[in-house]
């Protein structure tokens, strides 16, 4: 009898069961892959190491505290980005102090975005089968999979939060709508601009004046409060990311005004090959969104930020920078599909276009997705690290677990060692040239900045050939020649440990440990 009930339930809710299975597979696969990426030294200080320290410090009562590498001191995370939602992960660190908590949490939240896509599609299209397809395409979309694999970033969670906000907006349920908007706002400061544009969309496109004005006011007030008040208050200077837009000015207001008053400069950026490739890559597999062009205005601020920035990574597909664009693309996809169905009456044309749509998704999947299979052009493969090296890291984590030990490591080791109050990233942000910095700038601001830290751990695999004279070599040689530091241990397999000469005899680590 029970078996018949289960079979009957599956038959009745087969679409929902398939959706649940799809979401579960996504969560399991990408939790595993993101954990393996971190565990095989493919994650870095930027940004998993940072996020781990912020959450760990919060769990110890130091709310959102981190060691800022540019300022050279401990600051509140709000001096860098407004993403206080990170604190929500702190209670889980009381059970397990490991960045895997962040990686699994991100996969779960992002995976649940497929449920929001399904519900939104059901609301608009009224068809379960096509709604399931939309949800599955979301799980297969390269920018969703890339974002969940590129370490952890709070703004990635906004993809799901905004999708649920769109669903409750369409359902006319104000309380959960504003709740999910608030959750999205807590993931990054510029989410406020997207929320403001959503309000404008509601006013002029959906003719929902009251709700639209409330939404626009919420987004604008949030953006002004975070960018002009909160971040400058904690940082004691302007937002660090302003340097990405130095062509247009040195303050948010000047940048905005110059973008509008220098249209030729702006248009050259917008219609550059790089920008067009970026747009086409995101939109091609979701081209039905083009039949709902006004939905693009919702994420227009994010398109502008990514396209006008001097940081080319923001237009790359390996990273998280399109997380605020993805929900509007899927909202536009659903609306655009509905508009296309109404506009085109010929079933042959409909079928042909739909086949092209599926082909476009298959091609996009092959070109850009990161799954570990021969089905894609560049499959990911996180090779296990040498057992000796793995054991060394385990021993060092145990020996140096005291959170008060001031520790410096090379970037790939950071996620393993940022569970502490003070941490120093021994090398430098590899994207320095994207931020208009030269090697001389980096050396002037960073070389020797590990001074004052109790231990320095070097992964020689992150240091180039000594004969190359590379910037990483200059940092390494500086440490080797520093008479205040002494090498106390090596595992003869890439890992070297240094401590202050004054602490040499009382060192917690020595060669006999390995």
Q: Which tens digit of pLDDT belongs to each residue from 59-71?
A: 999 999 999 988 7
The per-residue pLDDT for 4 is 56
Predicted local distance difference test score (pLDDT) of residue 219: 98
The strand pair at 65-68 and 73-76 is best described as antiparallel
* Residue 3 confidence (pLDDT): 60
Structure tokens at 150: 């590129």
139, 149, 208: which is closest to 177 by C-alpha?
Answer: 208
pLDDT reported for residue 2: 56
Span 359-368, mean pLDDT? 97
What is the per-residue DSSP string for 414-479?
HHHH--SS-EEESS--TTGGGGT--HHHHHHHHTTTTTT-SEEEEEGGGS--GGGT-HHHHHHHHH
Please tell me the least confidently modeled range out of 111-115, 240-244, 318-322.
240-244
22 and 114 Cβ atoms separated by less than 8 Å: yes
Helices (H), 205-251: 209-224, 231-235
Residues 233-261, mean pLDDT to the nearest whole number:
83
For the segment 8-39, what is each residue's pLDDT rounded down to a tens digit?
Answer: 777 778 999 999 999 999 999 999 999 999 99
Q: Count CA within 13 A, CB hemisphere, residue 45.
A: 23
Mean pLDDT, rounded, for 251-263 = 85
* 262, two tokens: 């220098």
Residues 472-500, mean pLDDT to the nearest whole number: 92
- Least confident interval from 82-91, 103-112, 203-212, 375-384: 375-384
Is the pLDDT assigned to residue 58 strictly greater than 60? yes
Q: Is the pLDDT of residue 254 over 60?
A: yes
Least confident window among 148-152, 247-251, 367-371, 478-482: 247-251
Give the mean pLDDT of the chain.
93
Provide the pLDDT for residue 134.
98
- Per the model's pLDDT, the better-predicted residue between 491 and 357 turns out to be 357
* 285 has a pLDDT exceeding 80: yes
């Amino acid at each position: 009898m029970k078996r018949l009930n289960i079979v009957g339930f599956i038959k009745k809710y087969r679409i929902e069961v398939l959706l649940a299975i799809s979401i579960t597979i996504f969560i399991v696969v990408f939790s595993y892959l993101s954990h393996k990426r971190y565990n095989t030294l493919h994650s870095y200080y930027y940004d998993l190491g940072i996020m781990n320290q912020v959450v760990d410090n919060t769990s110890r009562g130091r709310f959102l505290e981190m060691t800022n590498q540019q300022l050279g001191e401990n600051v509140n995370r709000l001096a860098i980005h407004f993403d206080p939602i990170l604190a929500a992960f702190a209670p889980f660190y009381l059970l397990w102090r490991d960045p895997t908590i962040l990686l699994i949490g991100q996969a779960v939240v992002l995976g649940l975005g497929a449920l929001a896509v399904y519900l939104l599609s059901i609301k608009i299209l009224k068809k379960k089968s096509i709604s399931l397809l939309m949800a599955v395409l979301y799980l297969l979309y390269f920018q969703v999979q890339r974002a969940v694999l590129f370490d952890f970033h709070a703004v990635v969670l906004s993809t799901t939060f905004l999708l649920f906000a769109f669903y409750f907006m369409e359902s006319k349920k104000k309380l959960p709508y504003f709740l999910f908007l608030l959750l999205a706002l807590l993931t990054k400061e510029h989410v406020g601009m997207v929320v403001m544009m959503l309000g404008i969309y509601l006013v002029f496109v959906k003719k929902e004046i009251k709700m639209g004005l409330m939404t626009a006011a919420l987004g604008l007030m949030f953006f002004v409060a975070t960018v002009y008040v909160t971040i400058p208050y904690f940082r004691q200077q302007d937002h660090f990311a302003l340097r990405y837009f130095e062509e247009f000015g040195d303050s948010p207001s000047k940048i905005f005004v110059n973008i509008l008053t220098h249209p030729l400069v702006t248009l050259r950026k917008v219609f550059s090959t790089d920008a067009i490739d970026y747009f086409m890559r995101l939109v091609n597999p979701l081209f039905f969104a083009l039949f709902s062009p006004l939905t693009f205005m919702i994420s227009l601020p994010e398109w502008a930020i990514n396209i006008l920035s001097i940081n080319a990574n923001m237009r790359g597909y390996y990273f998280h920078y399109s997380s605020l664009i993805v929900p509007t693309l899927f909202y536009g996809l659903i609306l655009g599909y509905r508009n296309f169905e109404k506009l085109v009456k010929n079933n042959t044309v409909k079928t042909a276009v739909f086949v092209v749509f599926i082909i476009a998704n298959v091609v996009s999947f092959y070109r850009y997705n990161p799954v570990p299979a021969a089905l894609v052009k560049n499959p990911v493969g996180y090779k296990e690290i040498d057992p000796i090296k793995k054991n060394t890291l385990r021993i060092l984590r145990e020996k140096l677990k005291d959170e008060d030990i001031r520790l410096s490591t090379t970037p790939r080791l950071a996620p393993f060692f940022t569970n502490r109050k003070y941490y120093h990233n021994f090398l430098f942000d590899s994207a320095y040239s994207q931020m208009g910095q030269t090697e001389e700038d980096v050396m002037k601001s960073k070389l020797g900045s590990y001074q004052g830290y109790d231990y320095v751990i070097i992964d020689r695999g992150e240091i180039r050939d000594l004969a190359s004279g590379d910037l990483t070599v200059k940092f390494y040689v500086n440490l080797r020649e520093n008479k205040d530091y002494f090498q106390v241990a090596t595992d003869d397999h890439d890992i070297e440990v240094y401590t202050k000469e004054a602490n040499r005899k009382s060192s917690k680590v020595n060669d006999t440990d390995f």
